[in-house]
A and B are shown apart, each in its own frame.
Chain A
């Protein structure tokens, strides 16, 4: 019986790990014909990390929340030559349990095709973003593509 309770507590604790980390929200749209998409990667225990697909030359604004705007946020890219991270100032208030605070924001830019990882850390947790930077379509390739393939090619 005691073993079962410990197991349940362990499962609950592991499940709670995902909830004890910050959440990211996109704040800017992708330009036409380019990609800037942030998706959650979940498993049985909940949110594990984020997946960001970004075209080269494109920027995306993201806010970090953890019961309100993230506190003492630090963001690092494993390879700034592929995806660079900048702190951002988004002059809006977000409501949390502690009242209103200015949003905590960052901007990620696609510098060169490839894959890297961005680590978002704040006072009480962290979250990883796996970033894939893709090359923009060649103008001639989009024009020459068959009709059925054009939408997918052009969407990148």
Chain B
């Protein structure tokens, strides 16, 4: 015989508590216990940010910079830390989630004293394709024409089949003729700015392992 009398199913109560948390965080990745959310660290108006893809698998080798918060009745968010259950699949390094190999691992969201507030299962997948987009999200391919002195900012996206992967990856950028086009860093791990320097043609290649994306750039006077 069971002596417990429950006023409402716990799951329902917790889901109600979590409702406002998920709403305030937009497209947040909700925890299994409905108490915490995990999103990417992005500016509100950054269209290319990984906040847009909090539910996507993390690319192998990529870093995801999480922004964790919790909404628990009667308390502000306590001091939280992250811990991976399977560090060989997904590790936590200096607060970042780092994809190590294909698979799934729970990420525990705990207080300083180790009490688990929530957890999220995060998937890791290999990169099968790289695409390039402008900062507004429009995909760029084929040939791009630029006038001398003109810039174009390119954001690479990592894909596993039809799924866009999350995380920042240290990609290899090369240009066939650096007299015509320069590739400049702009403070983001993956993003680059192409500067048209002199009339001519150049091929810009972005590579990661066996995957690569190329873009032909034609610079006119």
Contact = CB atoms under 8 A, between A and B. Distances in A.
A150 interface: no
Given A58-B85, A58-B104, A94 B116 contact: no
B117 interface: yes
A74 interface: no
B213 to A, nearest CB: 24
Instruction: Report the interface size class on chain B.
Output: 35 or more
A88 interface: yes
Nearest to B78: A89
A95 B75 contact: no
Interface in A114-130: none
B119 A107 contact: yes
Interface string A137-149: 0010000000000
Contacts of B103: 57, 136
B154 interface: no
Interface in A77-115: 84, 86-97, 100, 103, 105, 107, 109-111
A19 B2 CA distance: 7
Interface in B7-36: 7, 10-11, 13-14, 17, 32-33, 35
A87 B106 CA distance: 16
Interface in B41-75: 72-75
B74 A91 contact: yes
A99 to B, nearest CB: 11
Given A27-B10, A95-B5, A97-B3, A59 B89 contact: no
Contacts of B74: 91
Nearest to A88: B116
Contacts, number: 114
Contact of A89 (B3, B11, B105, B111): B111
A92 B17 contact: yes
A97 B74 CA distance: 23
Nearest to B13: A92
Contact of A67 (B4, B33, B104): B4
A31 interface: yes
Contacts of B11: 27
Given A28-B32, A57-B86, A57-B89, A68 B108 contact: no
Contacts of B108: 59, 86, 107, 109
B182 to A, nearest CB: 40
Nearest to B111: A89
Given A93-B13, A94-B10, 12 more contacts: A28-B119, A29-B32, A31-B121, A57-B89, A65-B4, A86-B110, A87-B114, A90-B35, A91-B73, A92-B17, A96-B3, A139-B102
